[in-house]
Structure 1
Amino acid sequence: MKSILVVEDEPTISRVLKVYLEKNGYLVIQAYSGKEALQSFKGQSPDLVLLDVMLPDGDGWSVLTEIRRESTCPVIMLTALGDVDYRLKGLASGADDYISKPFIGEEVVARIHAVLRRSNTVFDSGKTKYYGSLKINLSSHTVYLHGQEVKFTPRDLSLFLFLVDYPNQTFTREQLIENVWGIDYDGSDRAVDLAIKRIRKSLDQWSAKEGEIKTLRGLGYQFCVYEKK
């Protein structure tokens, strides 16, 4: 049974989420503050975090930052703030999705299903690919650079492995959203740009002579490789 950590300081909203999630077969862990959220996260290792932005002892951004320092656990931000800047801030900080209040319970469940499905994607090729100092195992979906594992958020990993599966092939933002985010995604296509930026930062020690995540202006992105063995 998958466990969901619900971080929401409004007891009524937290109870509603708990009912919907338990009805759909999830184990629900409830936290009502940032401090309690981090304690529960470290102590119970949930499969996904549903994280409210506004908390009584701070904000969800700081909780997200702490989670990302040690884990790639999927995180969905939940907030009454519907401005696109807040949505982009969450995605840039490593959130996997963003839901604005007021929400429909079924939508929250559907988003959770989608994020968990992406994070659990298994690549069946069973191959390990090498691009110079970069090692990519498409079976265990792990990435190593200079022998050290590179940690990605689930969505960033899905995006990176999708591009790796089609080396030197260009994809538009719309194609990447459809294949990685899913056709039901209703956010900004800038999420692709932010994810690419994070992936590049994670691979900043990868030699430019071996490959790169390349931007083709007006066309899209590609996993461009120059040396493979």
Structure 2
Amino acid sequence: MNSSTIMIIDDEPQMRKLIRMFLEKEGYSVIEATDGVHALSLLDETPPQLLIVDVMMPFMDGFTFAKEIKRTSTIPLIFLSAKGEEWDKIQGLKLGGDDYIVKPFLPGELLARVESVLRRSYQNKPIPDTLKVGPLVIDTSAHTAILNEIPLSLTVKEFGILHLLAKNKGRVYSREQLLHIVWGEEHQSSERTVDTHIKTLRLKMGTDGELIETVWGIGYKFGV
């Protein structure tokens, strides 16, 4: 499973949903922002390893966002736009964009460009693999989870669930989504298996097990 987190910044809900589906299918964690202003407010919470930024947005467009973020950050950035004119592409690259994708695009093209930018950007340094959310610290390279400075003894699936929910805190995942992402598309498990793993995970987390919240009729989320 990919350890990279990608932020999608686009004011079109359907476009965000589509890109999220492509990326999560490949194991990436995804954060959504509706515009540049919203994205800036989220960056300090869970810094992503890549930004996918729509050019045409209200409040703060993609080019303005790029100017702002590149002053203080080296996070790689892919522009996404329905405008495919050469001037727009050149402008995006001059502003620090690592790539420029024209809508509409094929899933394979998007994923190939995402992988290419991540590879180029982090080939000489490791992608950050430590996540801190409240009292929880997860190290994906060491495959460890520490809660209130106490290591948790987790199975592979429990670790996968905790990592996914913590990286996307506040987002609700259905049982079916958890099965597809953590167990894989070829899984033969039932949704009840997810409930069993969640129950065991909460027990191991002690009083902090309540951080994994049940959203009745839908699924689970990390509630910090």
TM-score normalized by the length of structure 2: 0.53
CA shift, 1:105, in A, is 1.6
Find the counterpart in structure 2 of residue 59 from structure 1. Answer: 61
Q: CA deviation at 1:106?
A: 1.6
User: Contact conserved, 2:37 with 2:60, CA < 8 A, in 1?
Assistant: no
RMSD: 1.1
Q: How far did 1:34 drift? A: 1.4
Ranges of 4+ aligned residues in structure 1 off by more than 6 Å: none
Match of 1:37 in 2: 39
Secondary structure in 1 matching 2:42: helix
Identical-residue share of aligned pairs (%): 41
Q: How many residues were matched structurally?
A: 123
1:83 paired with 2:90, answer no
Partner of 1:114: 116
The 1-side partners of 2:70 and 2:44 are apart by: 12
Deviates more, 1:17-26 or 1:55-64: 55-64
Tell me which residue corresponds to 2:11. 9
Q: Deviations over 1:48-101 (max 9, x none)?
A: 000000112131011111110111110000000000000000000111000000
Name structure 2 gaps, 5 residues minimum.
126-224
Of 73-82 and 32-41, more deviation after overlay is shown by 32-41
* Distance in structure 2 (CA, Å) of the matches to 1:14 and 1:122: 30
Structure 1: 5+ residue runs without aligned partners? 124-229
Q: Which residue of 2 aligns with 1:97?
A: 99
SS of aligned partner of 1:51? strand
Could you tell me how far apart the structure 2 residues matched to 1:74 and 1:14 are? 18
TM-score of the pair, normalised by structure 1: 0.52
| Aligned counterpart, 2:21 | 19
Q: Is the 8 A contact 2:8 2:30 kept in 1?
A: yes
CA distance in 2, matches of 1:108, 1:67: 22
Deviation at 1:40, TM superposition (A): 1.5
Q: Distance in 1 between matches of 2:60 and 2:10?
A: 12
